[in-house]
Amino acid sequence: MRKKGKTWYRICKMLCEYKKYFPGIFCCFLGSSFIMFLQPLIVKQITDCGMLQKNMKYILFFSGILIIISLTQQELNIIQTRLFSNVHNQFAHFLYKKTYWKINRMKIQYFDERGSAEIINTISIDIDNVSSVVDQITQLSISSLLQIVGGVVGLSLLDWKLAILIEAIIPLKFIIVSYCANKKRKVFEQWIEDKRKFMSWFAECINGIHEMKLWNLFQVKNPQFECQQKDLMDSYKKNAMLDEYRTVSVVVMDTVVNALLYILSGLFIIKGEFTIGGAFAFITYSAYVVNPISSLINIKYYFAQVEPSAKRLFKLWEQPEETEMKLHAMKPGKISQDKDIVFEVKDLFFGYEPSHSILNGVSLIFITHKYKELERVDKVYRLSKGILELVSESEV
């Protein structure tokens, strides 16, 4: 649990870099939610004071108001989407940029152990999942939260007893979605691991394509291919079925709740406790509470895939780095006048195996003179086509 908290704290800390967009986004959310709160009340006036009373002036007046606030809401949604898109693009750019420069500093052993296709696929999936925290899912979830608040206030104004009855359904939906979210996290972790294994295996085949074609190894490796694909398809199927089970559970519950609302509204109208417009407003406010609760709780379900990707991405950022090469300025006396200094390397060690050194503590000076050379105090080296060769003093 502590590690999970650290992961989300790290994500939130990175998002704080874009806090200049937050006030505008919050104002758009607040304005849109207030308009949604007003709409059922306006429809109630159109129904009760306009249609039932046969008052055309009321109908035209409140219909005009309804059009104006609806257009205002759409304009706020456009501004809100633009701001969210800016945050999403900048956040995704930051993740890719940080990963790009991290790769530049990482030790080469990391790339020897993994294929390029595996690395690219892993980075792409992880960054897409982490950046989804500022995607439309989050936008929908925040809107749902404010919509629920407006729905509860509206229900309380109409009938607080029925409001309590509607709110009692929330814990049941929370239990169902939370259970599916926990299952989703485990299944998704298995899927990304199976995906990584397959891309690693596939990258090995591509890197050794010459040997694969020369010795006809495609037939030999076909059972491995089928096994890798089977694991990957099983993980995908589990993800898809879990999504469908969650959707079916929520839809069945919403259908039962909506049927109950129509029955109660009809009963109150017959008893004279509700007007038709009041019943419409009550059903609308109930939908504001019951329907968005799924979207709000679903943020935990959808974000179940963010945590595994974030952990893997942060693990990549924490990979050991190569020691930075330090450049030292040479004294002018060591360089001949007709040669230009580039830079100097001290204590250079090189070898293909730890027990067999090719260069051991060599100090080199990179200079330019007709052709590229590498000069040491007592010996001169020539760099030709990537090969370091010793040149005798007579050749120089």
Q: Which residues, in sequence order, are CB contacts of 69 under 8 Å at separation 6+? A: 35, 38, 39, 42
Strands (E), the chain: 340-350, 359-369, 371-375, 380-384, 387-391
In terms of residue numbers, what domain contains 373?
Answer: 332-391
Task: Give a yes or no: residue 173 inside a domain.
Answer: yes
**354: three-class secondary structure by DSSP:** coil
* 85 and 62 together in one domain: yes
Task: Give a yes or no: residue 56 inside a domain.
Answer: yes
Identify the pLDDT of residue 333: 47
- What is the rounded CA–CA span in Å between residue 388 and residue 373? 9
Identify the pLDDT of residue 72: 94
Query: First and final CA of the chain: distance in angstroms?
Result: 67
Edge-to-edge order in the sheet of strand 380-384:
340-350, 359-369, 371-375, 380-384, 387-391
* 267 and 378 together in one domain: no
Give the model confidence (pLDDT) of 40-71 as tens digits.
889 888 888 888 888 888 889 999 999 999 99
Q: Are 6 and 119 in contact (CB under 8 A)?
A: no
* 275 and 374 together in one domain: no
Task: Give a yes or no: residue 84 inside a domain.
Answer: yes
Task: Give a yes or no: residue 259 inside a domain.
Answer: yes
Total structural domains within the chain: 2
| Domain final residue pick, 317, 344, 377 | 317
| Domain final residue pick, 317, 347, 372 | 317
Task: Give a yes or no: residue 225 inside a domain.
Answer: no
* 296 and 174 together in one domain: yes
Give the model confidence (pLDDT) of 238-285 as tens digits.
888 888 887 888 788 878 877 887 888 788 788 877 788 888 888 888
Two tokens at 249? Answer: 């559970």
Q: Which residues, in sequence order, are CB contacts of 58 under 8 Å at separation 6+? A: 45, 46, 49, 50
Task: Give a yes or no: residue 227 inside a domain.
Answer: no
Give the model confidence (pLDDT) of 104-137 as tens digits.
888 888 887 777 777 888 899 899 889 888 876 6
Whose CA is closest to 169, among 269, 248, 252? 252
* 159 and 248 together in one domain: yes
Question: What is the domain-level CATH number for residue 12?
Answer: 1.20.1560.10
Q: Which DSSP state fits 329? A: P
Beta pairing class for 380-384 and 371-375: antiparallel
**324: three-class secondary structure by DSSP:** coil
Task: Give a yes or no: residue 380 inside a domain.
Answer: yes
Q: Which residues, in sequence order, are CB contacts of 237 under 8 Å at separation 6+? A: none
The pTM is what?
Answer: 0.58
* 182 and 302 together in one domain: yes
Burial of 290 (0-12, 13-18, 19+ CB in 10 A): buried
Amino acid 33 reads: S
Identify the pLDDT of residue 183: 80
Whose CA is closest to 76, among 19, 32, 142, 137? 32
Task: Give a yes or no: residue 313 inside a domain.
Answer: yes
* 311 and 338 together in one domain: no
* 181 and 268 together in one domain: yes
* 250 and 354 together in one domain: no
Give percent of the chain with pLDDT exceeding 90. Answer: 13
* 271 and 357 together in one domain: no
Assign 377 a pLDDT band (cuts: 50, 70, 90): very low
| Domain final residue pick, 291, 317, 343 | 317
Cα dist. 331→113, 335, 341 in Å?
42, 8, 10
Give the model confidence (pLDDT) of 166-189 as tens digits.
777 777 777 777 777 778 778 877
- What is the rounded CA–CA span in Å between residue 253 and residue 171? 12
Amino acid 332 reads: P
Whose CA is closest to 226, among 256, 201, 250? 201
* 339 and 274 together in one domain: no
The Cα angle at residue 145 between residues 43 and 71, in degrees rounded to 5: 40
* 250 and 376 together in one domain: no
